[in-house]
């Protein structure tokens, strides 16, 4: 099975532009960017509660503490949220009315939450309709890890951010591209 496509900045902008003219643009933008800018798995995104992301005072947390039942490996982990993602999540939360802390962060039109499988299918459809071939629900995660690797972040840090237990797993996520190779040659 082929690995999910890593997106270029241009391709990500293309998907975001597509999302902006569809139904639920704030929700879909936040769901997409949380995978691209924090490296979260789609199943983890589907499992998020408002209280995981929004502090009691209404501010967006800088860290999301995932419980074992929210993660693939059933290991609790902390996901760090950068400033630009906190701003995006704040924009999304501003569109939500009277949402209690114990509710799921992202809801469908008909249900109080996405299942991991439904969200995987939804991401695949978003990418496909935006004209991005080969992208899947895992593309944001692979793009996140690849982008950080290309900026010189060490594989041990990447492993921790991804919530992997094995460095070889993290290494498979890194998509070596021409820019990375050019930068490496310049170091010689």
pLDDT band at 179 (very low <50, low <70, confident <90, very high): confident
**173 in any annotated domain:** no
**Cα separation, 69 vs 179, whole angstroms:** 38
**Cα separation, 43 vs 119, whole angstroms:** 8
What pLDDT, in 10s, does the model give residues 103-132? 999 999 888 999 999 999 999 999 999 999
Burial 34-71 (b: 16+ CB within 10 A, else e): bbbbbbbbbbbbbbbbbebbbeeeeebbeebebeeebb
Predicted TM-score (pTM) of this structure: 0.90
Q: The domain that contains 133 carries what CATH number? A: 1.10.443.10
Number of domains in the chain: 1
**136 in any annotated domain:** yes
- In 3D space, the residue among 107, 171, 184 whose CA is nearest the CA of residue 142 turns out to be 171
**75 in any annotated domain:** yes
Scanning the chain, the segments in alpha helix (DSSP H) are: 9-20, 25-38, 42-47, 50-53, 83-94, 116-129, 139-150, 155-162, 167-173, 178-187
Task: Determine the structural domain holding residue 77 and report its residue range.
Answer: 9-140
What pLDDT, in 10s, does the model give residues 9-56? 999 999 999 999 999 999 999 999 999 999 999 999 999 999 999 999
**27 in any annotated domain:** yes
* Angle between helix 139-150 and helix 178-187 axes, rounded to 10 deg: 20
**187 in any annotated domain:** no
């Amino acid at each position: 099975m082929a690995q999910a496509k890593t997106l270029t900045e241009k391709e990500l902008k293309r998907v975001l532009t597509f999302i902006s003219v569809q139904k639920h643009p704030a929700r879909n933008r936040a769901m997409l960017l949380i995978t691209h800018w924090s490296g979260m798995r789609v199943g983890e995104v589907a499992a998020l509660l408002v209280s995981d992301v929004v502090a009691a005072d209404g501010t967006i947390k800088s860290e999301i503490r995932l419980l074992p039942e929210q993660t693939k490996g059933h290991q609790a982990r902390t996901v760090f949220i950068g400033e630009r993602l906190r701003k995006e999540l704040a924009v999304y939360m501003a569109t939500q009315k009277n949402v209690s802390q114990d509710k799921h962060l992202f809801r469908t039109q008909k249900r109080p939450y996405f299942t991991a499988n439904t969200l995987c299918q939804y991401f695949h459809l978003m990418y496909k309709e935006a004209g991005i071939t080969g992208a899947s629900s895992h593309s944001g995660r692979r793009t996140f890890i690849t982008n950080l690797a290309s900026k010189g972040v060490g594989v041990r840090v990447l492993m921790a951010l991804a919530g992997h237990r094995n460095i070889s797993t993290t290494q498979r996520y890194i998509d070596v591209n021409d820019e990375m190779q050019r930068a490496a040659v310049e170091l010689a």
